[in-house]
Structure 1
Amino acid sequence: MQTVLISGGGIAGPVLAHWLRRHGFAPTVVELAPGPRPGGQAVDIRGVALDVMARTGLLEQVRAVRTRMRGMSLLDADGQEIERSTEATFSSGRLDGEDVEVLRDDLVRLIHEHTRADVEYLFGDSVTALDDHDGGVRVDFAQGASRTFDLVVGADGLHSNVRRLAFGPEEHFTRHLGSHLSVFGADNFLALEDWQVWMRDGDAGFGIMPVRDNTEIRVAFGFESGPLPHDPDSLRRLVADRIAALRVHGARLAEAALEASDFHCDALAQVHLDNWSRGRVTLLGDAGWCPSPLSGQGTSLALVGAYVLADSLARSSGDHGAAYAAYERRMRPFVALNQALATENPGGPASEASVAHAKNAFALDG
């Protein structure tokens, strides 16, 4: 039984682990966080990714916890409503469609619960070194003892540790799209009821949606800026200062950003590599091809990629090189099409027609 170390316990990694286990592999997932990560924005499961969820056995559970918006309002910089829709929202697309919007932490929780009995999880640890040799990959960990695995998969996000160790510095592969995104939660001080609000003021703006039966809100604040500070406290203060300058809810949102336990901020960027694999190591999801949140397709690409990678390995009769090549050959056109959604309409979402084409441009059994 081949052993596979997967770095990253979010969405792509555990789904890959599920499918590897079903194909007869022995997967281990290592995750830096002490458990499934809380917080995060709402994510979309669209098109062919819904089929992956169905085959994984989680589609009905995901649908049960989906967000249920009635619509959205667009505000000007002074807070006046300039447009509204009861047919679609920027975060999820058409409200009458088959696609599913779900909070990221809900999806992570469901996948972890679905896999924890059959998959080895190493929480609170990370990979510090990789030694790829003929007999496997020797992996050093920050906390645990070194181990050797037949294969290693980096599913550890935009700032992938595995990618850095196996391929080189991050700056060789990331393309900054010119802005940054901060996401955090707060009490529903706006008293929103299944209704989103969106506002743009110059080079900054926000989207706010109520969650948890309208008891909380999740705030997505986008802004342009020079390089972000590395110190977490300085980064949080920078975001709070930028939000405070807004004329609409600025002071209250700044306070929420300073208090939030789930505060997150990062550059909006894409990842582009000539090859996703090197030796016995390969990349999955944002680590290999981050399309950025602007595409709305990061989660769907991760789900499809996890299924295809596991399928390719299962078909390869132990030849990981052939498996990785098949995985990349199948996924690259789909990834490129979906990455293009992020840059189709700078400052706004891609067209409905483009999204519809991109989300379905893949055959799982191809």
Structure 2
Amino acid sequence: MKILHAGNLANLGYLATRELRKAGMDVELLMEKNPPKGSDPTRFDPTLNNSYPDWIFFYDKRKLSWKTDIIKIMRNKKYDLIHAYVELPIFAYISRRLFVAHTLGSDFRLLAFSNSIRGMLLRRAYKRAKIVLYSQADHLPLFSKLKLTNYLFIPILRDTSFYKPQKIVDSPYSDKFVIFHPPNLDWNLKRNDVFLRGFSEFAKINSNSVLIIVDRGVDAEKTHQLVKSLGIHDKVIFIKGPLNSTEMLRYYNLSDVVVDQFSVGSIGAIGLETFCCAKPLITFIHEKLHESVYGEVPPVCNAQNSYEITKQLEYLIDNNNRAKIGKQGYEWVIKYHSPNVFSRKIRSICESVLNEEKIEQIHEKISKIS
């Protein structure tokens, strides 16, 4: 059984391929040549030493032939199955090979519902796919709108051997209450402005607090302006982004609290990495949807507006509360998102697809893997 993973948004394709190979599966990765910084394995995995392994193959978007190059690679008969991420199920569909689709974010929330050619092709790809995998709880209600029944929830894996609790001995903020805010500065998608207003109220009575913001995104300039207008510029530190994985690991661990987004309603990579480092997470999630797909609600400090954000920060100023929530988050990510659990589930899914088992049978098998 030889599998091609196609796509590497936020290095998820690389991480999945690497861990599946460690588990003994014959897997290769197809990804973009000269990728964006956030999707470059050499920035994500320091053990690569700036060199790509021989199981990664590339397509080059600078070439006019890049789309047909993808399809040619997918049509290689050495592959028994294609595992295609984000928009690459379109190419798997055109290749006419056996494939599963894996949604990761706005590809499913937005593109699949658009009237564009890409949106139309993506909808067709989902219908042709043997299974549509999803890893975001807020995707669940969208399947019925697309009239899809071949879907399966699989928690995305995180590298729990790399992202882990560490003691930072040289932190310049050791005498401060440190809040880390690493998501893109995109007010529409992340509602960073809502968070800043909540932090502003918190900082009025907690003068010892400091907020570290990763300075990247379409609304970076607006964020700087808002910080000034709120009068909190003396409590905010902007660091140039994006950060690589080693830098992210350091900031997670020197922080007391990590704050993510307040719009999407699902836990993403930042949230899971926060859990790996046993730090409390403030974000917004749809609790009922998470309970539907996991069977229980993840231990986040849930907030949706500035007032709730302020209250969660006030709750987490207490050391015992932070320790309790951080421990619960760490236990959660090990239970649901460890490479071991993910690898066994993916192996089972691939074997079931190749054996032409029905989606109901696959659901039952996966539910027993923990």
User: Aligning the two structures, in what range does the TM-score lie when normalised by the shorter sequence?
Assistant: 0.3 to 0.5
Higher share in strand? 1
TM-score w.r.t. structure 2 length? 0.37
What TM-score do the two structures reach when normalised by structure 1?
A: 0.38
**Structure 1 or 2: more helix by fraction:** 2
Structure with greater contact order relative to length (CA < 8 Å, sep ≥ 6): 1
